[in-house]
Structures are given as structure tokens and as C-alpha cells.
Amino acid sequence: MKFSHDFIAFACDKGVLRFGEFKTKAGRLSPYFFNAGLFDDGASLARLCEFYAEAITAADIPHDMLFGPAYKGIPLAAGTAMTLAGRGHNLPFCFNRKEAKDHGEGGTLIGAELKGRVLILDDVISAGTSIRESVDIIRAAGATPAGVVIALDRQERGQSELSAVQEVEKSYGIPVIAVATLADLIGYLGDHAELERNLAAVTRYRESYGVA
């Protein structure tokens, strides 16, 4: 989709997506690195949330509210809720804190009450820990996880022949929507001569570790 292509361009321009040699948590040497924490100013966060809103709209998954797992999901849920509201789709949102408070409003949840069908917004899925915790929180509140939205799907095997994204989809029976995927990145590299030197390395990496 065009917004996926535009997102890759945006991530490269911002330095969020870098090329070289990077060691992953799995101990693999990856020819690219994606660090969503570098969307670190108002303009880039606003643009990022526009891409999330585009992906959510295009996926057309029925949902009633947004949930942002601490910590990276918090600005994503808030910012995307604002973006969608600006497009006439006003949704409640909620996020969690890591430690429960025993004063004030107390508890671990902040924002709207978790109810109905809930979209979880996060940056990436690595081990899937954040998503598992989010699903447990949502179900404990009596609500229903509707899906997960992430920025980039690396489309590579995890501990099994499935990717972390596929593991989440299989375990919880919910879709994972990615603004962009490794396939989108490879397509983008092939279209840009100044980046094409990275194409062979990224393609080899996909051949070694990729999933369908």
C-alpha cells in the first residue's frame, strides 16, 4: 500500500530505520535496525500516528477503543486516538502503568474503562511479551482483544518456524496489522538507487530467517 511505502521513506529520513550490521536479541546479525524510540519530537510522533490511523482504517477491523501497553504503546495510543478523532472517528483509549499505585486513583490502568473490542497499539513484536500482558489485562477487564497494530513486521522466524507476529495471531486468534513489513522495505530499497546497495544484504537475511 502507498502508506507502507511512505512510512518506510519517513523512517529512513528520520534515521529510525538504519542499515549496517546489528545484532538482534536472537543473536542474529541483521543488515537493518528499526528503533521507534527515535520518533522523538512532536512532528515525527504526529506523522507516525497518522500512519497508524491509515493502517487501522485500511484494515477495517471492528473495534471500540485503543490500548497502549507501557511504555512505548502509551504515546501511540494517545496520538492515534487524537489523529482518528480529527478524521471523525472519536475513540476512547487506555494504557497501563508497570507498577500499581496505592494512592490517588490507584490501580494499573489509566484512561477509559476497558470494554468492548480493543485494538492494542505497540511499536514492534519481538518476543510477544508485551502483547501477552496486554491480552491478559484486556480479558481480565471483561473486554475482548480485537487485534494488534505495529509499525514494522520483520517477518522473520522466532523460536519456531513461525514469526513472532504469526505466534501472536495463532495464540490469541487475533490479526496483527503492520504499517509496513520486511517485504515493503525490500520493495522500497529496490526503487531507490541510493539505498539499493543494502538490498542484497536484506534479501539474504530474509532468505536465511524469513517466513512466508
Q: Kindly state the cell numbers that stand for 155.
A: 517477518
Question: Which residue in the list 101, 115, 170, 192 is annotated as catalytic?
Answer: 101
125-138 residue pLDDT tens = 887 788 999 999 99
Active site residue 101: yes
pLDDT at 27: 86
What CATH number has the domain bearing residue 141? 3.40.50.2020
- Residue 166: the pLDDT is 94
Specify whether the CB–CB gap between 146 and 118 falls below 8 A: yes
Q: Please give the average per-residue pLDDT across 152-167, as a whole number.
A: 90
* pLDDT value at residue 105: 54
Query: Is 103 marked active-site?
Result: yes
Q: Half-sphere exposure of 144 toward its Cβ, with a 13 Å CA cutoff?
A: 10
| Contact call for residues 198 and 189 (beta carbons, < 8 A) | yes
Q: CA geometry: angle at 59 spanning 10 and 111, to 5°?
A: 80
Least confidently predicted of 6-15, 36-45, 97-106: 97-106
At 51, the amino acid letter reads F
Pick the range with the lowest mean pLDDT from 42-56, 60-74, 100-114, 115-129: 100-114
Phi, psi of 160 (to 5 degrees): -125, -160
Is residue 145 within 8 A of residue 118, CB to CB? The reply is: yes
pLDDT surpasses 90 at 25: no
Is the Cβ–Cβ distance between 146 and 61 less than 8 Å? yes
Q: Do 187 and 202 touch, CB atoms closer than 8 A?
A: no
- Domains held by the chain: number: 1
C-alpha cell at 149: 497494530
What is the distance between the terminal CA atoms of the chain, rounded to a whole angstrom? 18
Share of the chain above pLDDT 90, in %: 82
pLDDT value, residue 158: 79
The mean of the pLDDT values for the chain is 93
Structural domain of 128:
2-209
pLDDT of residue 7: 98
pLDDT tens, 95-131?
998 776 555 555 789 999 999 999 999 999 887 788 9
Q: Which residues pair with 121 in a beta bridge?
A: 149
**Residue 154: which of 125, 132, 174, 134 has the closest Cα?**
125
Nearest to 124 by CA among 95, 85, 163, 78: 163
103, 115, 170, 192: the catalytic one is 103
